[in-house]
Structure 1
Amino acid sequence: MATKNITVFFTDAGVPKTGLSPTINIWNLTTSTLDVSAAAVTEVSAGSMPGWYNYAFTSYNYDESYLFTIDGGAGMFISVCDRYKYGGNESYEEDISYEVWEEDNTTHTTTNTTGQLLNIITAVLVNRTKIDTAAATLTVYDSDCVTPLIVFDLKDSFGNPSVVEVCERTPTTCP
């Protein structure tokens, strides 16, 4: 879970409105449940930021979709046409960056995806490798140190198989 700050700006006839006691309802579209019911929304700072209010949604899940309504309150404190605000969790920049940079690499197994290619690059850099002197090949293993991921033919400066003067490594799939 993550925390998503939901900010709202209240006015009354176009003038920033301070001193309200708004409440928020958050509906989870993914699970069809009301996750937050009539929770208090806090005024940011009446002096320096008049009209701004904030709610810290601490059970926010980047993988789920939400709708929210904020009620500025009834009575003489705010006009009816300015009372309600609404929104959802559109794909904001921080949501997208979180999904990309915090993604677990074990989920990237589809061939030729960027995630799978990054896993192979990482494997070549850090996993076990072994040179077979008889076959003049270099094998890069998976993180279990047993399963071969890539096998390279090792060649000298003339293009002949070699483990002594290695000048080139080519995947065994290359001609």
Structure 2
Amino acid sequence: MILTGRQIEAAVDAAEIVIRPFDPSRMNPNSYNYTLGKHLKFAEGALDARREVTWHSATIGHEGYVLVPGRLYLASTAEVIGSDTYVTSLIGRSSLGRLGLFVQVTADLGHQGAVHCWTLELTVVQPLRVVASMPLGQVSFWRTAGSVTSYSGMYGQTSEPTPFWPPSLA
């Protein structure tokens, strides 16, 4: 069951949900608007899922940064977000989707126990200027049923965009 905005705010106050920094004006009826961090990573050319990828880094300056079509960008939330009690789901905003920005292309689920700045997958259908700290998407929180195993994987402790870690080929 999804939490309402009031339940999210109460869970933040009770330290059951971490959103840092937290701004009550970003609350929605069933979610919280997260913002874009200032760091990007991207790769050029063909990628090979069996090998490590060479990633280039960029910082979003005061004038913003123009995302170009045909390239996947890794960004992160400006906020530390997560919970030991609830599952998170991060999605994009429909207003930015109408500008051709796709956020969280495939990985929108955040497991219980993962509390960090979330890596975001960004791609655009036409050039689009983005600015650090702009509202980028929404995070919702869900109750679980049954016994819980907290997440302890390699992606659960990041503060900057985290690239693909290829599986062992041995």
State the TM bucket, normalised to the shorter chain: under 0.3
**Greater relative contact order (Cα 8 A, min sep 6): structure 1 or 2?**
2
**TM-score, normalised on structure 1?**
0.26
Q: Identify, as 1 or 2, the structure richer in strand.
A: 1
**TM-score, normalised on structure 2?**
0.26
Determine which structure has more spread, i.e. the larger CA radius of gyration.
1
